Amino acid sequence: MRIVIAGAGSVGRSIARELVANGYEVTMLDNHPSRMEVASIPQADWVLGDACSLDALSKAEIRQADVVVCATGNDKVNLVACLLAKTEFGVPKTVARVNNPKNEWLFDDAWGVDVAVSTPRVMTSLVEEVVSVGIPVHLFRFHTSDTNMYSLTVPEDSPLIGSPLSTLDLPPSVVLAAVLRDSRPLSPRPDTLLQGLDELLILFSSETEADLEQISTLFAPPPKKSPTPHKRIS
């Protein structure tokens, strides 16, 4: 997955570090040479340019991006960059930073914004969420206990579609806390049937790599069969 981040300030770099650490391809775009701290995130590509410039966005190869994150300290720049990403380059998803709460009402699909948020850590989680269907995405850790909350979006071709929650073979350390469907929270009842793109909020009492892998495998769609080659008749 490829992610372009407009804004290489402290917020943009914080998001980039976490995304790079989680295996995403990241490109940083900023028009201030002083913010081109390439050594701070050497795994990322760095482009010097204005996020509101079509030439700079093209140079950052934004057309190949799965997500564009507009994380500058200027709300006008973030709005314009999102709008250009959507209308001029057809980027599937945009995440925008809101600096001034009074401007929050502007951050909607009319400006090409899919998700608007103000907290860097939440921004990182949301970026991962929009590109990670079927993969648990870490949201936060409860400081009073060794418990973490993850989000998982059920793939539309998962074999568990239509299955009741009571049949899910979850690891012992995992608790299903809620189901988000059509932007509405649902209490996870045993007879609730899973639907594609349901978002599951999952609590791990002490997550391990094995538990995370088991959750991903549980919801994964069946592997695609390779077509049988036709025999040539000579």
2-30 pLDDT, tens digit each: 999 999 998 899 889 989 988 899 999 99
What is the structure's pLDDT at 234?
39
99-109 pLDDT, tens digit each: 888 898 899 88
The CATH architecture annotation of domain 133-219 reads: 2-Layer Sandwich (3.30)
Q: Are strands 25-30 and 115-117 parallel, antiparallel or unpaired?
A: unpaired
What's the whole-model pTM score? 0.60
62-103 pLDDT, tens digit each: 999 999 999 999 999 999 999 999 999 999 999 999 888 889
* Domain boundaries of the chain, sorted by first residue: 2-130, 133-219
User: Per mean pLDDT, which range of 14-18, 139-143, 145-149, 156-160 is the poorest?
Assistant: 139-143
Evaluate whether 2-130 and 133-219 have a shared fold: no
Tell whether domain 2-130 is in CATH 3.40.250.10. no
- 2, 8, 13, 15 alpha-carbon torsion, rounded to 10°: -50
3-state secondary structure of 128: helix
